[in-house]
A and B are shown apart, each in its own frame.
Chain A
């Protein structure tokens, strides 16, 4: 087959001109595109309104579809639970007994902690939930790791707020529409979370890798402080994320750091809680940084 002929203008002057102006328009389109791209790289806040609007337009479609998907998934996993139910039941009972003992111990520690804090005169920071939404979508076509949740500015959500589930940290808001917002996940390469190891308290930095895991590096040079199975929690440094929110579990050790699996798996947990930034000043700083 010969190559497609393409738009041949022939002898018509009108057709020739329209083809030429079409070419000019395409070149202009290219230049406009490059300009917009540069603008969105150096000043991402420029497009916040239009991006928010796009999220709002998409969310009435995404939301119901997500419900259907969750129902189907629930049916499958619900049926799976009946398999080997007796053994599972025995195991769960044992686990529950153990957890109850741990919970009693934790309650004691909590009480003691409260008294000690009161003695020191530390102000208790309450982490107030702003809104709770469903995780309805993600950026499955791109190297970036975003998720879309079904709450927006109408619910009080603002850019820069931390998002978590009951299991751990999900990420922070980067685009907020009126009824939906986009979350920068912990596993995104651009998301750096100041953290520490729960076991030792050693300060570390958790950075996403873009493939669903996080890279964890110690702040202090020395021997590798990680062990497999270590829980990494936020340290609260920087004031954006509240302290002691679980981030990841160490699954593999590297030369000088470790690889972690996020504990709040957005694919499993369908509800996410948007919280106030730990220190309100951090929100202003985050917005400023975005604008720069």
Chain B
């Protein structure tokens, strides 16, 4: 593949062997790439010489879509349903409960609740009908860039559509689903229970999960990946995340303290193959047989810790967004949302949303960061331009 894709020109050819050690050694000898390289080279430098991009796009087999990363991390990618769907479904079936709920070939009702960027409703086409928001059997519920701007009428419309569809499975951004669930709880609106909910697009906080669990009687599972890499991990019924190993080769570069930085090489991808692509996230790996019985063929994670750019270095350790969430929520579970902001003097302000002054949470965050943290009550947390939330603004 490296010889065919202009971005990787000049790199050593792959070893003529299936020996995993030889392949690993070859990969680790190459430089990593990041979003900057993908943006600069897009799309020509990322297309195999033998592929006719224009023709495939004209045929509708490949399209260009934008990811929904934070402002600095957004990029466009080449994307095709024929690749996405099979690898996503394969990953999801690592979870036995999900696999039972969506047997191959059987009808499956799915609802998606995320940013309109991810849901494809970003064009200036006005409000779309339910039919127009249904793609390949998936109903995209949201049309507003910031859930804070959901009006009661909009919330009622989404809840009505949810209940009419009675989805078997739901794929959701946890921040968006938590907001919808809080409204459902406040208004005592029943939400039809799906057989499972996958939380993806961004890190789920403990408060998100609590708000969702209060309104929906369904198991919540994390699904981790990205638009450009495909699904990398799926959480099993025992709470571990299993590597979708047939579709990617992973390296977890040491980030100290038992953490790893995720580096991905896609496997078998025709369009936009990635070679040693650093995703920008930090994870906590684990090992040993899992009680769920899934085949042990790749990495397993205890959890995803968050974006590397949102991690903070305290005196002797890296504080990740997930660790901060543990500390903040552990100190004060009344907090519905939070965002940590570094001030010019090196101290931090902890913006909190909820029926609290945030003092205990600020104290807990200060203990983790070994820095001064001042709480501040906020009306809401501002999402980034993409609609996703940043937990730490370093």
Q: Do A and B bind?
A: no
Give the A-binding residues of B (Cβ under 8 A).
Answer: none
A residues engaging B (CB < 8 A)? none
